[in-house]
Amino acid sequence: MFHLSPRHDDIELVYPFWVLRERSRVTLIDTGFSALVAERRGISEYRDPTALLAELGIVPGDVERIVLSHLHYDHFGAPERYPNARFIVQRDDVAFFSGAGRLQPAGALADAPSIAALDDLRRAERLETLDGDKSLGDGLSVVRIGGHTPGSQVIVLERSDGPLVFACDGSHFYDNVLTKTPSAIIYRYDEYQRGFSAIERLATGGRWFPGHDPAMLQQLDRVQERVYALRDA
């Protein structure tokens, strides 16, 4: 999780996806992944995203929009689970993982069947590819930072109590930003560093959440097994 670290300690990760709900409109940040992928990747204590959504009274067909931070397997998987959703992702990630990335070791970090499904989503006009930052409305926006993958993006939700920044794998842990140390999975080092500065800037006056740090749960309230809600500032 830390580039060039001299140590190789065991470390605990969480694999979150986020639910933004305003009245009947449901938006996800990332999708979660399948039980088969969890088994193949050796991920323990797996909970199926459909079951987790059910804890909130949501069925996958209710999801209207999914904002993908990037296309690694743990952030984009089993898109067929969400038959009515529009997927929003940076064009650079789509081009890489469906093109040249398939021939590179980094391509193995994507779920091949999910990447293949991008063509079907495009034909169904359910795939929106972005070329940089964009406001999505209702206080939600994305900022392209790259670094971890060609088109990694962070998601920002403006609220009355300050912005919420979902850094996802722009910073796997809080300490990646604090120490300016990327993870070992780097597409462009210079973009990774600029991304750290962007996360700090975007979170001014608010809060931010990393991609896999269990410490983020301290800022949340547990409402069900493996389901957490944002704690008011």
Indicate whether 231 belongs to any domain.
no
pLDDT for 73-115, tens place per residue?
A: 999 999 999 999 999 999 999 999 999 988 888 889 999 999 9
Give the domain extent around 47.
18-219
Residues 156-159: contacts with CB under 8 Å, at least 24 apart: 156/202, 157/20, 159/206
CA-based radius of gyration for the chain: 17
CB 55 within 8 A of CB 106: no
pLDDT surpassing 80 at residue 2: no
Average pLDDT in the 129-146 region?
Answer: 97
Indicate whether 158 belongs to any domain.
yes
Distance from C-alpha of 2 to C-alpha of 18, rounded to nearest angstrom: 24
Structure-token match 């990447």, residue found:
115
Average pLDDT in the 205-213 region?
Answer: 96
- The CATH number of whichever domain residue 213 belongs to comes to 3.60.15.10
Indicate whether 232 belongs to any domain.
no
Which pLDDT score is estimated for 87?
Answer: 98
Q: Which of 172, 171, 167, 135 is nearest to 154 (CA)?
A: 167
Indicate whether 83 belongs to any domain.
yes
Indicate whether 229 belongs to any domain.
no
Indicate whether 10 belongs to any domain.
no
Count structural domains, the chain.
1
pLDDT surpassing 70 at residue 29: yes
Task: Sheet with 153-157: list strands edge to edge.
Answer: 134-137, 140-144, 153-157, 164-168, 207-210
What are the distances in angstroms from CA 87 to CA 66, 83, 103, 199? Answer: 5, 11, 25, 23
Indicate whether 129 belongs to any domain.
yes
CB 107 within 8 A of CB 97: yes
What is the percent of the chain with per-residue pLDDT over 90, rounded to a whole number? 85
Average pLDDT in the 191-209 region?
Answer: 97
Indicate whether 3 belongs to any domain.
no
Average pLDDT, the chain: 94
Residues whose CB is less than 8 angstroms from the CB of residue 7 and which lie 6 or more positions away in sequence, other chains included: none
More confident residue, 7 or 166: 166
Which pLDDT score is estimated for 233?
Answer: 65
Count of CB atoms situated within 10 Å of the CB of 107:
17
